[in-house]
Structure 1
Amino acid sequence: MEGETATSPPTDLSNPTKPLDHSLQKRHQAMLDRLSNRHQTLTKSSSSSSATESTAAFLSKLSDSRHSIEFQLSESSKLAATDIKLLKSHLVDISSSISALEQLVAENSYLLPSYELRSSLKAVSELKQSLDSLNAELVPKKKFSFKNKSTSKSSLSEPKETEITKPEVPKPAFAIRDLPGIRNKENGILTKNFRSSETGEFILSDLDSCEVRLIGCVNAFFINRLRNCRVYAGPVMGSILIEEVENCVFVLASHQIRIHYAKGSDFYLRVRSRPIIEDCEGVRFAPYRLSYEGIEDDMRKAGLGKDTGNWSNVDDFKWLRAVQSPNWSVLPESERVGVIELKDLGSMSGAS
């Protein structure tokens, strides 16, 4: 009959030729629905279990590291009363531990839910503030004094209180790690094709007035101390960390991008999560504008095949008011560059 399904109604097991009555059919269908829903739930749970386990392992490690650093901070006051040199060394060690923790958060950021990422970054920021407060409170400031030009040998051999200075806080761990990359260049065109030689992590550091062209994918990308540079890069499968850049243009794609101490720079982005800025000024954002042969395949490989539009959803972690931060803006269309076309770059040029 028209409108009926092709399947036969369930039958009575004691009499297979006799269909079940209507109420039994309903109970039979409800049982099938429950089994189907349970199967879907178990399948979904299985597919997400590995990601959940990774997040849980990271949060456990973060908690252990944070408690260790907090204990080190609490011990600082005891050293201030006994040995100022030991205190300075102790504070430098704490700073290194905080930098290592910050690096851990960056490397796992693309695995973390937005809430966990925010909480982790806030925890690191609070540790930094605590360390800064201890430095200001416990380490004596250098005293100003006029020095006599004629200094005796004995006075040269004896350290004076006036020579004690606040220990310099080390740069973040990624800035000093021994990663493959391009460093200490000026006025050059620097290229790298990651397809010709696989690279897990890559760094650009201490560049001035350079143009950098990168084709292919990497797992993580670090950018540190660039001035007057142009950086055009294929997709990054994990995170990008940028620090201390000025008057630069970046064309970047990644799952998560964090920008620290940037001034007067433009960012053309494709990013899965909201870009994060901190201690920035005069930075502008626009959509990704890079093209080269095979970039669509690289985007799919990195999980960035679709533009989420997050390039304009910027979080300023140092701006807590309800109105938009004055430190960033959307780049006007009339001022945006056209699509940048990169050709096959061959092997690396200018790397260290």
Structure 2
Amino acid sequence: MEEDRPHTNLPTKTLGLDADLQKKHQAMLDRLSNRHQARLDTSLARRSDSANSSESTSSFLSRFSASKQSIDSQLADSRLIATSDPSRLRSHFANISSSISDLEKLVAGNSYFLPSYEVRSSLKTISDLKQNLEILNSELIPKKKFSFKNKATAKKELPKEPEPIKPDTVSVSNFKLPNSPGFRNKTNETLVKKLRGTEIGEFTLSDLESCEVRLIGCCNAVFMNRLKNCKVYMGPVIGSILIEEVEGCVFVLASHQIRIHLAKSCDFYLRVRSRPIIEDSNVVRFAPYCLDYEGIEMDLEKAGLSEETGNWGNVDDFKWLRAVQSPNWCVLPENERVGKVRTEDIGS
């Protein structure tokens, strides 16, 4: 009988072992489930952090780009202000310096979540803006007295003082040209002016249609407004060129600064020290400067434009803030470019 007892207790022991195994198995399943849930929660948190960081970076880049464009616009206006109203230069440069400081604060306040590349790129951009401001300040402020004397001379020749040009507020309705020498209200004419040896500081082209314009020599600034189907061949400009509302034209220009507003279906052959600026323009194409006349090398050297910078192809579209290429301008294909343009050095 004693030999049968183990067999009698076997089912009870087996049931006990099965219960223990089930408990252990369930505990293992619970641990695995908890571990899986923890990993899932961590993954979701990382995705959320990544999305937030991406959104924050995108927002920063948008604000940074808009601020940079505004500062670039102010820098671009400096030469025009130096020509039209040099007394504003110091306050103008102070405003630019303040804007650059605000941009630095923007980077500093957001650097904790920005990728290191974006921080380095932003700081490099700010450094370039500061350098451009210093160059303009050292170049234009010492010329203040000289510019003022030119304006005093202009007052003697012209009873009415030219109104300052304000590029930031330029529009079709309020664009005002200075009362300077120039060609106005002409149709189907060849217009030639010899600037070399004259006291002309500013020159204006306005309301021209189907005209060919040749300006030989240097001047300080040029203003163009309402030109249609014209060809403009121009010697180097020491300061800036402002172009407003042109269509179907060809321009061959050399200048330190060129700003183009409301241009349509035009070709620009440029030599320019800074990046050309376009606004509210479309179907505009760019190529290198191609004008030639007797003495042009001397004029280019006088204007500080003897070296080709390649900036003719580095166009800033102030109404296109995206990272991709603006659809409003392109490089003029080589097989569509005009050859070297030679014009005789004759006076009007």
TM band (smaller chain): 0.5 to 0.7
The SS at the match of 1:324 is coil
Q: Where does the alignment leave 5 or more consecutive residues of structure 2 unmatched?
A: 1-81, 96-132, 139-165
Equivalent residue, structure 1, for 2:181: 180
Equivalent residue, structure 2, for 1:111: 136
Give the length in aligned residue pairs.
201
Aligned-pair distance for 1:195? 1.4
Equivalent residue, structure 2, for 1:315: 316
Equivalent residues of 1:110, 1:256 under 8 A apart: no
C-alpha change, 1:291 and 1:110, in structure 2 (3 Å) is farther
The SS at the match of 2:91 is helix
Equivalent residue, structure 1, for 2:225: 224
Aligned-pair distance for 1:57? 6.5
State the AA in 1 paired with 2:299: D
- Quick one: distance in 2 between partners of 1:305 and 1:170? 37
Equivalent residue, structure 2, for 1:200: 201
* 1:255-303: CA deviation from partner (whole Å, max 9, x where unpaired): 0000000000000000000000000010000000000000000000000
The answer to whether the aligner puts 1:171 opposite 2:202 as a matched pair is no
TM-score (norm 1): 0.53
State the AA in 2 paired with 1:60: S
Equivalent residue, structure 1, for 2:345: 344
Equivalent residues of 2:172, 2:245 under 8 A apart: no
The SS at the match of 2:282 is coil
The SS at the match of 2:339 is coil
Equivalent residue, structure 2, for 1:249: 250
Equivalent residues of 2:202, 2:219 under 8 A apart: yes
Aligned-pair distance for 1:196? 4.4
Aligned-pair distance for 1:62? 7.0
Equivalent residues of 1:109, 1:239 under 8 A apart: no
C-alpha change, 1:254 and 1:124, in structure 2 (3 Å) is closer
C-alpha change, 1:332 and 1:296, in structure 2 (3 Å) is same
* 1:87-106: CA deviation from partner (whole Å, max 9, x where unpaired): xxxxxxxxxxxxxxxxxxxx
Equivalent residues of 2:268, 2:287 under 8 A apart: yes
- Quick one: distance in 2 between partners of 1:109 and 1:252? 26
Equivalent residue, structure 1, for 2:27: none
- Quick one: distance in 2 between partners of 1:314 and 1:344? 31
Q: Where does the alignment leave 5 or more consecutive residues of structure 1 unmatched?
A: 1-53, 65-107, 114-122, 130-167
* 1:101-158: CA deviation from partner (whole Å, max 9, x where unpaired): xxxxxxx999369xxxxxxxxx975xx59xxxxxxxxxxxxxxxxxxxxxxxxxxxxx
Q: Whose radius of gyration is greater, 1 or 2?
A: 2
- Quick one: distance in 2 between partners of 1:186 and 1:269? 25
TM-score (norm 2): 0.53
Task: Please provide the CA RMSD for this pair.
Answer: 3.0
When you count helix as a share of all residues, which structure comes out higher?
A: 2
